[in-house]
Each structure stands twice: as C-alpha cells, then as structure tokens.
Structure 1
Amino acid sequence: MADPITPAISDRICKHMNEDHQDAILLYAKVYGNTPDAQVAQMLSIDPQGMNLSVQKDNNTIPIRIEFDHQLKDSEDAHHTLIYMIKQAKGK
C-alpha cells in the first residue's frame, strides 16, 4: 500500500531523487520550471500539488515551484507522475 505524502515521505522522495536522479531534477527545472539555463537543481520538497526545487543559474540560487497536472493521491502516484514528467520532458 502506498503512503500519503507527509513531510516524512517528502523527505524520503527528495533524498532518493537528489542521490540517484539529479539529471531528472535538472530536467524538471529546465522544462517545467522554465529555466533552460539551469546548471544544478535539487529537490527540496514534494506535496500533493507540486514540488519545490532549488536551482543554480548564473552563480545564483533560485527557488522554483513546479505544479503537477493533478493532485497526487499518494507516494505511488508521485512515483508514476515523476516518471511520466521525465518521459514528457525528454520528448520536448
């Protein structure tokens, strides 16, 4: 059974993404965060409505909020949504 997206689940997802999928986070920032010149990105938090990133661009760190196209139901929905977003971004 999937977990609801609590702060603890957000931390777990962010830790996994930051450690294992930095390229995906950078792609989220570039495509969905409208920051094509982003150089480094980190996922700070995720909630049912969206995700918060910290992006480095031109020696500046800027926060970016990316809204999802639907409200996430749980951690499994988050997993599938993040994968779908990467597939869509790579197609652009």
Structure 2
Amino acid sequence: MSAPFGADVVAAVCRHMNDDHAADSLLICRALGGHPAAIRARATGLDDGGMEFAVTVDDVEVPVRVPFAQRLTERAQIRQEVVRMYREACRRLGLPPRAAG
C-alpha cells in the first residue's frame, strides 16, 4: 500500500465509514469486493489505490480490498471515490441509491 494519506486521515475516514455508512460499506463489499454473501463489513484502511475492509462471511471475518477507479492524491477525492463506489455497487445490485444529502 502507498501512504499518501496520514494515519489520522485514514483513521478518520474509517471511523466515519464505520459509524455513519456501515450499510454502504457492506453494499460495496458485496458488489465490488467479491463477497455477495457478506453480512457485515467494516473499513480498516485505505491508500491511494483502494480501500480495505474486513467482511464477515459465514461467521468468518476476511480481508477485502476494493480498488479505486484511479489513484487518489488529495483527501477530497476520497469522498468522491467512495460515493462513486457506492453508486456502482447499487447499480450492480439493482438497488436505487439513496438521494445525496
């Protein structure tokens, strides 16, 4: 993993995803992370090329890496990319994305 973002940024993003967007993380891991049977997902890290999750499948927690569509160089790009991944996951799963807000 490359380290363009400091540990404080990574921790803040993971905390935000886990506290406020756990369901979104689960959709991302099901559709883009190759674990359609996952019942839980939590963000564990990220770098310029992707986001790391721990997903629970059949009562076993396994690591999952979901690559970003492009290398990220700025913190503001993280949110944009996670929103893109969420929308792509919804599209692949045939679910309507919730309204931005």
TM-score by length of 1: 0.91
- Whether the aligned pair in 2 keeps the contact of 1:43 and 1:52 (CA below 8 Å) is yes
CA contact (8 A) 1:42 1:53 kept: yes
Consecutive unaligned residues of structure 2, counting only runs of 5 or more, are: 93-101
- Match for residue 97 of structure 2? none
Q: Which has the higher contact order (CA 8 A, sep 6+)?
A: 1
The sequence identity of aligned pairs, in percent, is: 27
Gaps of 5+ in 1: none
Deviations 1:25-57 (A, max 9, x none): 101110111100000000000111111100101
Moved over 2 A (4+): none
Q: Secondary structure at the match of 1:91?
A: helix
Name the CA distance, whole Å, in 1 between partners of 2:35 and 2:25: 12
Q: Is the 8 A contact 1:6 1:47 kept in 2?
A: no
TM-score, reference length from structure 2: 0.84
**What is the root-mean-square deviation in Å for CA atoms of aligned residues?**
1.0
Q: How far apart, in 2, do the equivalents of 1:29 and 1:7 lie?
A: 23
The DSSP-based 3-state class of the residue aligned with 1:52 is: strand
